[in-house]
A and B are shown apart, each in its own frame.
Chain A
């Protein structure tokens, strides 16, 4: 299934891409995907799926947009 991953803020520079589309097997979770795009797991972050925060282990679906962002605290 096709999933779009979008990085936010300094993650773009730190992990080397801004947005990409991945073809992943069905049943892939948000957590699996973070591993696939080599994001440092220890880094504080907020992950949203189609604009809503994901719960760990949540399975993804075809056409999802996963956004991985540092935890902003509002200027």
Chain B
């Protein structure tokens, strides 16, 4: 089967057994890989209602048909499982050598089941699987763990590992790889931790089956050079993702003070220009020629790799504008294996809750030392407050009460990324309908909203744009499994991806064929949600309530006096449902499921929740 290795590796940590399982060509064509494989496997194999942090959950690593093959930005893997933060399907993508090594070992996906008796490192080399003790690094951060693994196997192996946050089941713990890569902010690090799985190490020596290996090699190498050239011409990687910080500040879209403010006079201190000036090194994912990981010295002199999301949420959102200080908070998150975005939002929520008297405490916005200490308490689940905050902002708000849920900046239990949608209706919708909680990876419409339509509009054009972007960002790039940045940031044509797909698989598909796959996968994620939450309601697709609050408006600047309006937002949401073929709860109708070839999966969901 060209384009796929045709096999999945299934490992059981309880019984210390493993199986190499073949999958059919039909399965491959219907789900492609990455997120498609992950959601289908989890839907078929997980009983609804299982504890995401119990042995019944499964940890999946899934790759796509172009993963690991030298071509623009293919060094990515999807990590997935039932999410401890949302209770629905959860995933994330991560830059890692596992992408290449697992495919060379002969697998398109890895399924980890059960729970080990003690801290374990899984070592996979082609057909061999070893269950090795990881006691030596249990309790250690991800940097020490990574070095320990490199010292044993060298730096060419693929590694996924967790820090203390994953071990201690922090609901927004991530998986880590390489110098500064992280993925699975829906709590995939905690899923690993719940299985006492400290690390997965992979080495492969086989070749990946391809329809036209010589053609792919030539095109892949030529395109890597071309992406490098156009990035240099555009200058994108000079400031990388943090270039957008200054712009967000100008257009009132920056999260400041738990998203209460949208811009700040000191934001320039941590913008892309300053980050580039402070750069000491640049890191990136495998098979990337536009590397975006800008590293600086933090306050303690350690190397810390920053991007926009972590600067935005650990910086201005906490009213911290000093880059080395932000670097320190980012370093701690990375070392503990805490998601930087959720970590930033949880801290800002706590400071806000204290500020508003919902909970007593001495922590304040702008408190760098306090932030450092709290991150440690969260990672170790130390004391009452460490334990509460380790649960994420939604659960912490339920505990604190006093209406604090209104300013817990999350959707469905996952904290929002670093775009303040106080008055950006389409982006608020993008967060609202992201099927895994408020993630920016699914859709990002702010420039469209400002340039192609009006910021004030709640019209169907915005809902359509959200869908178009979901098909590309949350669809194509998450199942073919490649980094979206060449397309997003330097204009690399989408038409390149059917071209690569044809070279590896021999299948001549159009982008429209891919959009059907994207819609199918989104429907499956919604079915997973329905099974877990039969009483699901459209309110779950609403953004945080504070964005609707007239008392929270800016008093000056470009959006002074403006806020999102509930009725209009609800109308925009309905446009989205109508265009998608979803019912009023946001669940695909039977007709939609039939059209997308998942009627059978729909019937399986009906045992738990109604379809219309």
Contact residues of A with B, CB < 8 Å?
A: 6, 8-14, 18, 44, 46, 48, 50-53, 65, 67, 69-75
Sample 5 A-B pairs with CB under 8 A, ordered by A number: A46-B451, A51-B559, A52-B450, A69-B246, A75-B309
With A46-B447, A48-B450, A53-B451 as contacts: A70 and B558 at CB distance below 8 Å: no
Interface centre among B236, B309, B489, B557 (most CB of A within 10 A): B489
Partner of A72 from the list B247, B276, B307, B417 (CB cut-off 8 Å) is B247
| Interface-side segment among B13-21, B127-135, B175-183, B237-245 | B237-245
With A10-B236, A18-B273, A52-B455 as contacts: A74 and B247 at CB distance below 8 Å: no
Interface centre among B246, B307, B444, B558 (most CB of A within 10 A): B246
- B378 adjacent to chain A (CB < 8 Å): no
Chain A residues, Cβ within 8 Å of B308: 75
Bound-state Cα–Cα, A46 to B458, Å: 21
- B251 adjacent to chain A (CB < 8 Å): yes
Partner of A51 from the list B246, B272, B444, B557 (CB cut-off 8 Å) is B557
1/0 per residue B429-467: CB within 8 Å of A? 000000000001000101100110001000000000000
A24 to chain B, nearest CB (A): 20
Say whether A9 contacts B247, CB under 8 Å: yes
Bound-state Cα–Cα, A73 to B473, Å: 11
- B547 adjacent to chain A (CB < 8 Å): no
10 tightest Cβ-Cβ pairs between the two chains A and B? A51-B558, A74-B444, A9-B243, A10-B235, A73-B488, A72-B244, A75-B241, A53-B450, A67-B250, A10-B238
With A46-B451, A51-B557, A52-B455 as contacts: A73 and B251 at CB distance below 8 Å: no
1/0 per residue B242-263: CB within 8 Å of A? 0110110011100000000000
With A51-B557, A67-B247, A75-B307 as contacts: A12 and B273 at CB distance below 8 Å: yes
Residue of A nearest to B419 (CB): A74
Say whether A8 contacts B234, CB under 8 Å: no
- Given A8-B243, A73-B444, output 13 extra A-B contacts at Cβ < 8 Å: A14-B235, A46-B447, A51-B250, A52-B450, A52-B455, A67-B250, A70-B236, A72-B447, A73-B447, A73-B488, A74-B419, A74-B444, A75-B244
Query: How many A-B residue pairs lie within 8 Å, measured between CB atoms?
Result: 91
Bound-state Cα–Cα, A51 to B247, Å: 9
Residue of B nearest to A18 (CB): B273
Which residues of B (206-238) have their CB < 8 Å from a CB of A? 234-236, 238
Bound-state Cα–Cα, A51 to B422, Å: 14
- Majority secondary structure of chain B interface residues (helix, strand, loop or mixed): helix
Bound-state Cα–Cα, A53 to B419, Å: 17
Interface centre among A11, A72, A74 (most CB of B within 10 A): A74
Chain A residues, Cβ within 8 Å of B250: 6, 8, 48, 51, 65, 67, 69
Number of residues from B at the complex interface, CB < 8 A? 35
Bound-state Cα–Cα, A66 to B451, Å: 14
Chain B residues, Cβ within 8 Å of A51: 250-252, 557-559
Bound-state Cα–Cα, A67 to B451, Å: 13
Bound-state Cα–Cα, A11 to B174, Å: 34
Bound-state Cα–Cα, A13 to B233, Å: 12
Chain A residues, Cβ within 8 Å of B307: 75
Interface centre among B244, B276, B419 (most CB of A within 10 A): B244
Residue of A nearest to B250 (CB): A67
B603 to chain A, nearest CB (A): 37
Which residues of B (318-347) have their CB < 8 Å from a CB of A? none
Say whether A75 contacts B236, CB under 8 Å: no
With A6-B250, A12-B273, A48-B250 as contacts: A75 and B558 at CB distance below 8 Å: no
Residue of A nearest to B454 (CB): A53
Say whether A13 contacts B235, CB under 8 Å: yes
Chain B residues, Cβ within 8 Å of A8: 243-244, 246-247, 250, 272
Bound-state Cα–Cα, A9 to B455, Å: 22
Chain A residues, Cβ within 8 Å of B238: 9-10, 13
B147 to chain A, nearest CB (A): 28
Bound-state Cα–Cα, A18 to B238, Å: 14
Bound-state Cα–Cα, A71 to B419, Å: 15
Bound-state Cα–Cα, A37 to B558, Å: 24
A51 to chain B, nearest CB (A): 2
Residue of B nearest to A69 (CB): B247
A73 to chain B, nearest CB (A): 4
Say whether A48 contacts B234, CB under 8 Å: no
With A18-B273, A51-B251, A51-B252 as contacts: A72 and B243 at CB distance below 8 Å: yes
Chain A residues, Cβ within 8 Å of B440: 74-75
Chain B residues, Cβ within 8 Å of A72: 243-244, 247, 446-447, 489
Bound-state Cα–Cα, A21 to B565, Å: 37
Say whether A48 contacts B251, CB under 8 Å: yes
Say whether A52 contacts B558, CB under 8 Å: yes
B421 to chain A, nearest CB (A): 12
Bound-state Cα–Cα, A48 to B248, Å: 11
Chain B residues, Cβ within 8 Å of A14: 235
Bound-state Cα–Cα, A75 to B450, Å: 17
Say whether A70 contacts B251, CB under 8 Å: no
